[in-house]
Structure 1
Amino acid sequence: MPTKAASLLRFLITAAVVVLAVLLGHALWKRYLYAPWTRDGRVRAEVVRVAPDVSGLVDRVAVTDNQFVRKGDVLFVIDQARFRNAQAQAQANLAAAEASARAAGANISAALASAKAKQEEYQMYAEQAARRQQIGNVISQEARNDAAATASAARASWQQAQAGGHQASAAREQAAAAVEQAQVALDRADLDLARTEVRAPVDGYVTNLDVRVGDYAATGAARLALIDAHGYYLYGYFEETKLPQLRVGDPVDVRLMAGGVRLKGTITGIAHGITDRDNPAGADLLADVNPTFNWVRLAQRVPVRIAIDPASVPQGMVLAAGMTATIEVHPR
Structure 2
Amino acid sequence: MRFLRFEFSKPLAIRFFVTVGVALVAVLLGWRLFVHYEYDPWTRDGRVKADVVQIAPDVTGQVIKVNVRDNQVIKKGDVLFEIDRDRFELAFRQAEATVNAARINLAQAKREDARNRNLKELVSHEEREQGRAKVEQYEADLAMAIVQRDTARLDLQRSRVLATVNGYVTNLNVQVGTYVTASHPVIALIDSDSIYVEGYFEETKLAGIHPGDAATISLMGEEEKLKGRVQSVASGIFDRERSTGDNLLQNINPTLNWVRLVQRIPVRVGIESKPEHVRLVVGQTATINIHNRDRRELAEAQNTK
1:258 shift after superposition: 2.3
Q: TM-score, normalised by structure 2?
A: 0.84
Residue 201 of structure 1 corresponds to which residue in structure 2?
164
Residue 139 of structure 1 corresponds to which residue in structure 2?
none
Q: Which runs of 5+ in 1 are unaligned?
A: 119-159
Deviates most, 15-24 or 168-177: 15-24
CA distance in 1, matches of 2:21, 2:146: 91
CA distance in 1, matches of 2:27, 2:249: 48
Greater Cα radius of gyration, structure 1 or 2: 1
Answer yes or no: is the 8 Å Cα contact 1:34–1:241 preserved in 2.
no
SS in 1 for 2:76: coil
Structure 1 residue aligned with 2:202, among 239, 246, 251? 239
Residue 104 of structure 2 corresponds to which residue in structure 1?
99
Pairs within 5 Å for 1:38-53: 38-53=43-58
Structure 2 residue aligned with 1:327, among 285, 288, 294? 288
CA distance in 1, matches of 2:261, 2:156: 57
Answer yes or no: is the 8 Å Cα contact 1:250–1:329 preserved in 2.
yes
Pairs within 5 Å for 1:112-261: 112-115=117-120, 117-118=121-122, 161-261=124-224
Residue 277 of structure 2 corresponds to which residue in structure 1?
316
Answer yes or no: is the 8 Å Cα contact 1:45–1:321 preserved in 2.
yes
Residue 68 of structure 1 corresponds to which residue in structure 2?
73
Q: What is the letter of the counterpart of residue 90 of structure 1? A: A
Q: What is the letter of the counterpart of residue 84 of structure 2? A: D
SS in 1 for 2:236: coil
CA distance in 2, matches of 1:113, 1:67: 70
Answer yes or no: is the 8 Å Cα contact 1:55–1:217 preserved in 2.
yes
SS in 1 for 2:242: coil
Answer yes or no: is the 8 Å Cα contact 1:42–1:235 preserved in 2.
yes
1:38 shift after superposition: 1.0
Q: Which runs of 5+ in 2 are unaligned?
A: 1-7, 296-305
SS in 2 for 1:95: helix
CA distance in 1, matches of 2:250, 2:111: 76
Cα RMSD over matched residues?
2.8
1:231 shift after superposition: 1.1
CA distance in 1, matches of 2:145, 2:283: 50
Identity within the alignment, %: 46
Residue 83 of structure 1 corresponds to which residue in structure 2?
88
CA distance in 1, matches of 2:166, 2:223: 27
Which aligned runs of 4 or more in structure 1 are off by greater than 3 angstroms? 13-35
Residue 113 of structure 2 corresponds to which residue in structure 1?
108
1:317 shift after superposition: 2.4
CA distance in 2, matches of 1:90, 1:183: 8
Answer yes or no: is the 8 Å Cα contact 2:222–2:278 preserved in 1.
no
1:114 shift after superposition: 1.9
Residue 270 of structure 1 corresponds to which residue in structure 2?
233
Q: TM-score, normalised by structure 1?
A: 0.78
1:46 shift after superposition: 1.1
SS in 1 for 2:50: strand
Deviates most, 279-288 or 229-238: 279-288
SS in 2 for 1:230: helix
Residue 143 of structure 1 corresponds to which residue in structure 2?
none
Answer yes or no: is the 8 Å Cα contact 1:270–1:303 preserved in 2.
yes
Q: Are positions 1:292 and 2:255 aligned together?
A: yes
CA distance in 2, matches of 1:315, 1:35: 28
The count of aligned residue pairs is 284
Q: What is the letter of the counterpart of residue 51 of structure 2? A: E
1:27 shift after superposition: 7.0
Answer yes or no: is the 8 Å Cα contact 2:40–2:291 preserved in 1.
no
Answer yes or no: is the 8 Å Cα contact 1:39–1:327 preserved in 2.
yes
The change in CA–CA distance for 1:319 and 1:25 in structure 2 (over 3 A counts) is: same
Answer yes or no: is the 8 Å Cα contact 1:257–1:323 preserved in 2.
yes
Answer yes or no: is the 8 Å Cα contact 1:210–1:223 preserved in 2.
yes
Q: What is the letter of the counterpart of residue 283 of structure 2? A: G
SS in 2 for 1:104: helix
